[in-house]
Chains A and B, each alone.
Chain A
Amino acid sequence: MLTIKDLSVKFPSRFGDFTAIEDVDMSIKPGEIHGLVGESGAGKSTVGAAVIGLLQAPGYVAHGTLTLGDTDLRSLTPVQAHKVRGDRISMIFQDPQTSLNPLMTIEDQLIETIQAHSDVSESAARKRAVDLLEEIGIKNAAQRIKAYPHQFSGGMRQRVVIALAISTDPELIIADEPTTALDVAVQSQVLDLIQRLAKERQIAFMLITHDIGVIAQVADRVTVMRKGRVMESGDTAQVLGAPEHPYTKALMDAVPPLDRKLDRFRVPDTDGALPTQGDVAENWLLEGDQHERTGLSLENLTVQFLGPRTSFFHKPPPHVALDNVTLKIKPGSIMGLVGESGSGKSTLAKAITGLVSPNSGTMMLGDTELPFGKSRNRHHPSRQLVQMVFQDPYSSLNSRHRIGDILAEPLWFYGFVKDAKEREKLAASMLSLVGMQPDAITKFPHQFSGGQRQRIAVARALLARPRFLICDEPTSALDVSIQAEILNLLKDLQSKFGLTILFISHNLAVVRQMADETAVLRNGKIEEVGETHTVYTAPKAEYTKTLLELTPVMPSSWES
């Protein structure tokens, strides 16, 4: 039904044309869910935008054919193309929070869409809209339809978005990362809904995602892209289970499995550094009492935030971010902390580092008690002993500072090395230790990719000689192959230097690869703690079981 042949899209820029996708071939049949997978910069979203005719200016289709049924999409005038949108092709965006017009009721948005494509009365359109919402799983639709988008929760909003997309009975829906912004439970409901719609209404879906688990779970066929080109295409089970193209193979090697623990990922370990150049930094880290291992224990830790004030007379009800959390992290071990968004994972990290002040409880780092929030003075030893690797490598390094200065800062600040030249030398050696070329010290952060920046961030944390490292979603902003490299690096460093690590992630599979013990957090409460293997194979808490069941994985029969 949808056929793409030799499609190339170019973006003219002042530095010449940039080719976003080149010679892409693809076809989708009615009722088929076609996964389009690839890492950032692969051009997957560009394919979707080209099909629906909404390429961001100044991008244009350079050559190739796009046909939907008998219609040649490229030959349409802008007015005709706009008619096709909604009528025959529709789209679902990533973030349900921003996809709906905040100033209009759901009803208005549904009715205008229905009336734009079929000549029906307003009451008929309204009836159809209510039926649609019911079908999509919104209870009490006749009333809920009067509501504004902000009155729906994230998952419900994505349902409304889907209702809007199918309200005109399109033949094809382009779903661009439709579940990336959603939690596991909601994601699984939305994926079920997409599968149902494909089956019952014979709608074809182009499912664009970076998540191979999602593809494995719902896609009938899959196309793998990289740097604007198609690498491999075919039935999902065949492409993912027995990949032929070396890129697909490498990609599959980098995907962390949920059901077992790998020792290491089979990915390259360094970014060009020679292994011996890191010796200086390694020796420096190992000298003195630095091999001593330090644990962390939290007891009955509670953190409350004030909610937004809505009245002069009543205090706003406090929002409990952490509720009586007790957690013991053994010296030299990795504690994994999993939970959905809003479960309090990051609050826990902030409480330990002193950015957030708990209301009650105790925190012990080794034998010393950690003062809360602002009462921890600037010279408290924990400021040096506890370090953190952040989620977003694009914001965790000061873009106006040289890499050398960023790395030397802890050495200078904690008074480890007095001489500026020595600091520079140690910083360069530390870069080698984390697998980077030492000459990076003269450059600025924007000259590096996300993965390289995360290596630099790790180097900065190590240069404070920490005994306790918090990794807060250190790989969530990275592509899966880069994620594997960073995870390998963290494993190596941990075993070499006996670091104690709190590893926070929403991704169960990643935590399984990293952690000795795992804690499951939900709404600020610890649901379950235990040996990682036990938690994953014999979960005690219902919540853990649900999480494990709903996480999309590849069927084990596919794995080579």
Chain B
Amino acid sequence: MVYFILKRMIQSVFVMLAVAFLAFSLFRFVGDPVSQMTGVETSVADQERLREDLGLNDPFVYQFVRFTGDMFKGDFGYSYRTRQPVADMIASRIPATLELGVVALIISLLVGVPAGVYTALRPRGALTQAILMTTLVGVSIPTFVIGIMLIFIFGVQLGWLPTFGRGGTVQIGSWESSLFTIDGWRALLLPAITLGVYQLTLTMRLVRAEMMEVMRSDYIRFAMARGVPMRRLHYRHALANTMVPVITIIGLQFGGVIAFSIVTESVFQWPGMGLLFLESIRFVDIPVMGVYLVVIAFFFVLVNLVVDLLYVAIDPRLRISDVS
């Protein structure tokens, strides 16, 4: 068990290093950092000095090690566009994106898992067919179209909910949250649904497929043959076994949620990391792009480590290995 977790951690470190290398290569090779940081009026000598100061003349490996080390210390460099520290820019945007992503994920789980269970247990029901058809259309509508439709219906036609921005926020330490005001929740609702719908359909289909697979397994048939009460059979036996693979995929999907928040944030002008990333792409603001990458990969790796721990908690085969 310890070995399993350690192995996963080492793999995570590998993924992070690879992403850091990607970010570093971006910074180093896409355009010339020095000419980006200086204006046309800077002399060649000054440029050369800056190059030396930045360590750009050092050996490649050495530069990468220093780059990674700086990241560890929280020093992410400066934006080409705003000349501000990238760390501050990203940090101020993290709360908005995380709140959006987590609420969207919760919506997708709260609806997706029960719907998946229902459609798996009643594969031939009329409601099942209706749900399946709806979700098929659901995965086929691009996130931005869903956003536009929600804005059109609830914002423009009905005028019930705001169509952009975060609404009222509350400052808790350095965390700016929209979860503590009604206004904030009203603003959060449409973007979160937009982001959640796609994940929801994926979650539902996955739960359904896995659950149907489990329902066919020998141990479910044996439990059925022993007359284990149906409710217990479905939830204690089948659902628990379904969740083992489902949890893995949901962990993988979290990356998708964060990535698609780029689109949602753009549609709703939600001031999160995604919007920042889009702006930095438009202005070829390489340091921000690179750091955004690293931050996203870090969240992804973190969530997947948590998933591994959950895995160990659910599945005794990973916890206890002795066979006697």
Residues of A within 8 A of B (CB): 52, 54, 82-87, 89-91, 93, 95, 98-105, 109, 112-113, 116-117, 147-148, 150-153, 161, 164-165, 167-168, 174, 309-312
A86 touches B219 (CB 8 A): no
Contact A112 B228 (CB under 8 A): yes
**Given the complex, which residues of B lie within 8 Å of A152, measured CB to CB?**
323-324
20 more CB-based (< 8 A) A-B contacts, given A86-B227, A91-B225, A98-B218: A54-B221, A82-B230, A83-B227, A85-B225, A85-B226, A85-B227, A91-B222, A98-B217, A99-B222, A101-B223, A102-B219, A102-B317, A103-B244, A113-B227, A116-B229, A148-B320, A151-B320, A151-B324, A153-B323, A165-B225
Which residues of B lie under 8 Å from residue A117 when comparing CB positions? 227
Whether A98 contacts B219 by the Cβ 8 Å rule is yes
A98 / chain B contacts, CB cutoff of 8 Å: 217-219
Judged by a CB distance under 8 angstroms, whether B240 is at the interface is: yes
Is B218's CB under 8 angstroms from A95's CB? yes
Chain B min CB distance to A434 (Å): 37
Question: Chain B residues near A161 (CB, 8 Å)?
Answer: 222
Contacting A at CB under 8 A, from B1-32, are: 2-3, 6
> In the complex where A148-B320, A151-B322, A310-B321 touch, is A99 in contact with B227 (Cβ < 8 A)?
no
Question: How many chain B residues touch A (Cβ–Cβ < 8 Å)?
Answer: 31
Q: Which of B3, B217, B237, B321 contacts A312 (CB 8 A)?
A: B3
- Which of B3, B219, B221, B314: most chain A Cβ within 10 A? B219
Map CB proximity to A onto B223-267 as digits: 1 under 8 Å, 0 otherwise: 111111110100011001100100000000000000000000000
Bound CA–CA A390/B123 (angstroms): 39
State whether B222 touches A104 (Cβ < 8 A): no
Give a binary string over B85-115; 1 marks a CB under 8 Å from any A CB, 0 the rest.
0000000000000000000000000000000
CB neighbours of B237 from chain A (8 A): 101, 104
User: Is the C-beta of B75 less than 8 angstroms from some C-beta in chain A?
Assistant: no
Assembled-state Cα–Cα distance A87/B218 (Å)? 19
Q: Which residue of A lies closest to B123 (CB)?
A: A57
B224, B225, B240, B321: the one within 8 Å of A103 (CB): B240
| Interface membership of B316, Cβ < 8 A | yes
Which A residues are in CB contact (< 8 Å) with B3?
Answer: 309-312
Query: Would you call B315 an interface residue if the criterion is a C-beta within 8 Å of the partner chain's C-beta atoms?
Result: yes
B56 to chain A, nearest CB (A): 38
Residues of A contacting B224 in the complex (Cβ-Cβ under 8 angstroms)? 54, 82, 85
Interface pair A164/B226, CB less than 8 Å apart: yes
List chain A residues, Cβ under 8 A from B314: 103
- The answer for the CA separation of A98 and B222 in the assembled complex, in Å, is 10
Asked if B219 and A165 make an inter-chain contact with CB atoms under 8 angstroms apart, the answer reads: no
Contact call B227/A103, Cβ cutoff below 8 A: no
In whole angstroms, how far apart are the Cα atoms of A104 and B222 in the complex?
A: 14
The interface centre, meaning the residue of A90, A98, A101, A167 with most chain B CB atoms within 10 A of its CB, is A101
Known contacts A54-B221, A102-B219; is-contact A116 B227 (Cβ 8 Å)? yes
CA distance A90 to B227 in the complex (A): 8
